[in-house]
Amino acid sequence: MVSDIELGQIALHGHEMSYRRAGSGPVIVMIHGMAGSSTTWRFVMPTLAEHFTIVAPDLVGHGQSAKPRGDYSLGALASSVRDLLVELGHERATLVGQSLGGGVAMQFAYQFPERAERLVLVSSGGLGEDVALLLRLLTLPGAEYVLPVTCQRWAHDAGATVFGWLRGIGLRPGAHLEEMWESYGSLADAPTRAAFLQTLRSVVDVAGQRVSATDRLHLAGELPTLVVWGDRDNIIPVQQAYETQTAIPGSRLEIFRGVGHFPHCEDPERFCDVLLDFMHSTSSETAGSSASESRRPPNPNR
């Protein structure tokens, strides 16, 4: 098993961007969700890196990357991922995006079709209006004053200690809960909190997701596409997965039973099996090279 994961940082347009990289061979870019970081892929990176080069960035405004006051739209985030790949010397990649990362992956495929080999959408945003009530409420005015009170570092650390105790006696808290708790903990940091709100409000409002690719999904027919979802996702409902498969000709759908918003954390072994099968059974030869303006993948930012 590959154990050497490179932790890197690179300056892009005056701002530091952090990333994790491991393995060799064809490139898979793994893009995390809202208030997350590249650490979300920790359970699957070692296995996948036995077969491929894995690049997992911390999106700008997340993790160890810079958190400037700036543009947090899907287009800007997708461009930063492209710039990272260029700096690392990778011309083309398969895009794997979870939650917000799915929207970024779709935007990347739209903006840079010649660089996109395949598309994997994991509990992805940008595929329908419905989204968790809490996220909608956080887009309202005043959230800037509520979050500092509710997101306290001591509370996160206390919870992390409890998780450690449970693991110490042989009990493992649900991976879904642990991922949500890490996201909560990241918001105790003021710059991260500000970036989170800017990012959230660029894709969600009080009515739901405000950025959608649903009317253009048919354009992704030439791009090998895999949709992965948990049937107990309480952030973005699984119904959007079924609708997406119907809308993208030839796409594959994998529903993880008993799994929530983080299939790659909650059932990492199956996630790796599904992704490896998809990679080995699809061709990337025509995906990026034949893309044209009339056949571009969907743009969730329009």
280 is catalytic: no
Distance in angstroms (rounded) separating the CA atoms of residues 45 and 233: 22
CA distance 255 to 72: 30
CB 130 within 8 A of CB 105: no
Q: Catalytic: which of 51, 156, 176, 261?
A: 261
Name residue 40's amino acid.
T
Per-residue b/e over 87-97, b at no fewer than 16 CB within 10 Å? ebebebbbbbb
Angle between helices 190-203 and 100-111 (to 10 degrees): 60
Query: Tokens in use for 151?
Result: 């997101």
The active-site residue, picked from 99, 123, 186, 251, is 99
Q: Could you confirm whether 233 is annotated as catalytic?
A: yes
Please report, in angstroms and rounded to a whole number, the separation of the first and last CA atoms in the chain: 41
Question: Within the chain, what is the greatest distance between any pair of CA atoms?
Answer: 57
233, 251, 264, 267: the catalytic one is 233
Among all residues, which ones are annotated catalytic? 99, 233, 261
